[in-house]
A and B are shown apart, each in its own frame.
Chain A
């Protein structure tokens, strides 16, 4: 049976993980393999003091454990689901064992096996017996990790059925994100504490071994020290834990498909009579807000950015640094945009109603409004509250310039990527088992995270200028510029998204329906070759850089008499008239590059139009 399950899993994976998903899966596997190889190398490295090596190994194992527990929560359900086998007359324990073994077949397990080969390498340094013992223990440790991962996945899924649980899931994810991104803070603290010279503090080393990821290491160390009783005890503990986890997981397999905690809707509320709310825009905003309130998946999309922004800003307080507090609201806005980069996947195939009623434009705009209504007050309130809390009175214009542009930019960016880079997720009615189940397509989210950092830059630059000039008016003008940029971005990117959706809603619906990449791409959009799209990207990037910061912004500086602002603005370093000339050349160059970028697509479109077959045929 196990062989059949493995074949089934491989077939399911092969069919589901294609295109971008496959690229991401392999990229992740390669990065993971490099890191794991690094850990193996570390195990062989003669670092001083000697105690540092096992401690670092234990830390690496713990990191992997966290990855195993959190990873599946963020990614789709494993391709092989117990529901597939529900009607087969198998005992639970047999099914659990079979599914577990099948679950081992995968890139992530291969990488983890590589990681734990470091235990054998380290064991070899301690002697022959520890090395031999390390082999079965490494295998057992990998089993434990996989089992913990499975049980955690079921547990998080259970939680996500209720909105509060889903929100909690979001918070857990945010904590993990904060820890992984702000790990450098801990690292800096670690280095300055002289750990590398003296080794980790005793408690810390012990804690690392108490975590289930460090048990095999602890057993090998005990064996090396000749403490056989302790070795036996740890191995027993590992076996018992594995048995308990297997039993827990096996029980969950046999259970009937659970449903979400039922949320009740309103009854008999009449249609609003006021003209403002009656039209399609008001209707969709209303539907969106209700969905925000009722959909567990959206509860997580709300709690995660909030927790992430707040925690990121608060973490440095442990060192007594309050400088990040005023930025909490802006951070929330940036993460909100990241989380909502694929907002159409919440409704999935529900898109057909937009098509049938011809309301694509209203739909994009309404979603933008709902986005601002949901995240706007939260981000603004946190900004105000945290800036006041920090007591940094100079930070007000900075924080407000950041949060307003990030919010507006987010409303634009999310609409844009949701329509231009849509990725299907399971429809809401199929999310009953785990409403938080998302999709692996994080490309757009990744892009939006960095893109969402850009809109506040111009406003902040002006605030900075005002600060250097001691001009409060100029600082507040920076906030005004941010508001303007935010408004322009949400209007402009929203318009682009609306036009695109109006034209390609059918293709997007097909994508949502079949769950695969669009075979028939946008009929009006030509497919660019790799070279053409590279040229296009470079032209856009350089064009914007030349036109806005190096061109227009330097002209603003010169006109406002801020000749001492230099930073990275070429024109500000040069003596006049060369400075002015540079500014003008930059504007022209930027304009030309942007124009060229637009021409790449146009030219290809013209060519493909000639070759296209008419629809009537």
Chain B
């Protein structure tokens, strides 16, 4: 790998506490350019908080993050031109249709009108949203919301994609399309960071992985290296602990 190229996303000492609870604890992470990076961790591990801080949607208590050569907090405009973001559970322009939302965002980003129209049409086609042409986003299903979110993240042809739980509630057919789009994006030199708790998916798609638990990164590196001889799922469970509950406790279940 070319070490002169800046990493796609570099995170240094990002820290966030909400009151007493430390959500993300001094995390360092580097996503090399051209990598397909998976961030995995149990619920409440701090993935969303970390990604929000990394892309500039949440102000960290301490630490810094940069996209390519642009610092997210001191040079936000350039950083956000490089970035395509799909946050989890945030509102869209709810009372617009999918196409209107794409057009709206294209104009916000200062794209040419012709470019916006062409890309919006293609994105709607690829995301299989043309059938719901006149449906407002507020009436979209969860899966459709993910797809229109991803479409808006791709619209301005970013260099780095940061996706929080992109496959949640997406049907298998659409998921296959999304996977193809993302893989092609990486092959063409883009970088993808996605969070998920579906291990099989991360194992299948990603070349690099970081495991987060309780606000810290407990392991990171190439997928093959992190999982070793076993599956990623087993490694994950051994890293974050299986929890205190054992199945033995539920002896009454199904009797």
Contact = CB atoms under 8 A, between A and B. Distances in A.
A616 B64 contact: yes
A294 B95 contact: yes
B109 to A, nearest CB: 6
Contacts of B136: 262-265, 294
B87 interface: yes
Contact of B93 (A347, A509, A510, A523): A347
Interface residues of B, number: 52
Interface in B11-64: 13, 15, 18-19, 55-64
Contacts of B57: 352, 355-356, 506, 509
A349 B15 CA distance: 22
B113 A271 contact: yes
Interface stretch (B98-106, B187-195, B221-229, B233-241): B98-106
Interface residues of A, number: 54
B26 to A, nearest CB: 9
Interface stretch (A143-151, A174-182, A280-288): A280-288
Interface in B158-202: none
- Which of B58, B97, B107, B135 has the largest count of A CB atoms less than 10 A from its CB? B107
A320 B225 CA distance: 88
Interface of B: 13, 15, 18-19, 55-64, 73, 76-77, 80, 83, 85, 87, 89-97, 99-100, 103-110, 113, 116-117, 133-139, 145, 152
List the 3 closest pairs (A to B, CB-CB), nearest first: A265-B97, A283-B107, A350-B91
B59 A271 contact: no
Contacts of B105: 353, 357
A273 interface: yes
A520 B18 CA distance: 9
A278 interface: yes
Contact of A519 (B19, B83, B106, B117): B19
A291 interface: yes
Given A279-B110, A349-B90, A352-B87, A428 B62 contact: no
Contacts of B106: 271
Given A263-B95, A290-B95, 14 more contacts: A264-B134, A265-B96, A267-B97, A269-B103, A272-B113, A282-B107, A287-B93, A350-B92, A350-B94, A357-B109, A506-B56, A509-B57, A520-B61, A615-B62
Contacts of B80: 356-358
Interface of B is mostly: mixed
21 contacts: A266-B97, A266-B134, A271-B113, A271-B116, A291-B95, A347-B91, A350-B90, A350-B93, A352-B87, A352-B91, A357-B105, A358-B80, A427-B94, A429-B94, A506-B57, A507-B59, A509-B57, A519-B18, A520-B59, A616-B13, A617-B63
A221 interface: no
Contacts of B18: 519
A432 B113 CA distance: 33
Nearest to B152: A353
Contacts of A615: 60, 62-64, 73
Given A271-B103, A349-B90, A359 B108 contact: yes
A615 to B, nearest CB: 6
